[in-house]
C-alpha cells in the first residue's frame, strides 16, 4: 500500500496533538498559521533530510524554535 503526503500530514497532526513534552512546538501550533508552518517544517525534515521518524523531526523543529535568529 502506498502512502500519500496527506497520510503523512494526518500522522503529523496526530503527533502534534500529543506534543506535551515539546513546549515551544506546542505553543507554536496553537494558531492555524503556526500549525501549518510546523507541519511544513516537519515534512521538510522528512523529505529533504531523510528523517524517517516523526518524533525525531518534531524534536528538530523544537530545537529550531528554541534558538532565536539574531
Q: Angle between the 5-17 and 54-66 helix axes, to the nearest 10 degrees?
A: 60
Phi, psi of 21 (to 5 degrees): -90, 0
- Given this model, what pLDDT does residue 46 score? 95
Report pLDDT digits (tens) over 11-58. 999 999 987 899 999 999 999 999 999 999 999 999 999 999 999 999
- Given this model, what pLDDT does residue 45 score? 96
- Given this model, what pLDDT does residue 20 score? 85
Predicted TM-score of the model (pTM): 0.88
Retrieve residue 10's grid coordinates: 494526518
- Given this model, what pLDDT does residue 70 score? 66
How far is Cα 47 from Cα 25, in angstroms, rounded to an integer?
20
Q: How many domains are contained in the chain? A: 1
CB 6 within 8 A of CB 43: no
Segments forming the whole domain that contains residue 35? 5-66
- Given this model, what pLDDT does residue 19 score? 79
Amino acid at each position: 500500500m502506498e502512502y500519500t503526503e496527506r497520510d503523512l500530514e494526518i500522522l503529523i497532526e496526530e503527533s502534534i496533538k500529543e506534543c506535551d513534552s515539546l513546549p515551544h512546538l506546542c505553543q507554536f501550533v496553537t494558531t492555524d498559521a503556526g500549525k501549518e508552518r510546523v507541519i511544513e517544517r516537519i515534512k521538510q525534515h522528512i523529505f529533504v533530510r531523510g528523517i524517517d521518524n516523526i518524533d525525531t523531526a518534531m524534536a528538530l523543529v523544537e530545537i529550531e524554535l528554541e534558538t532565536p535568529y539574531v
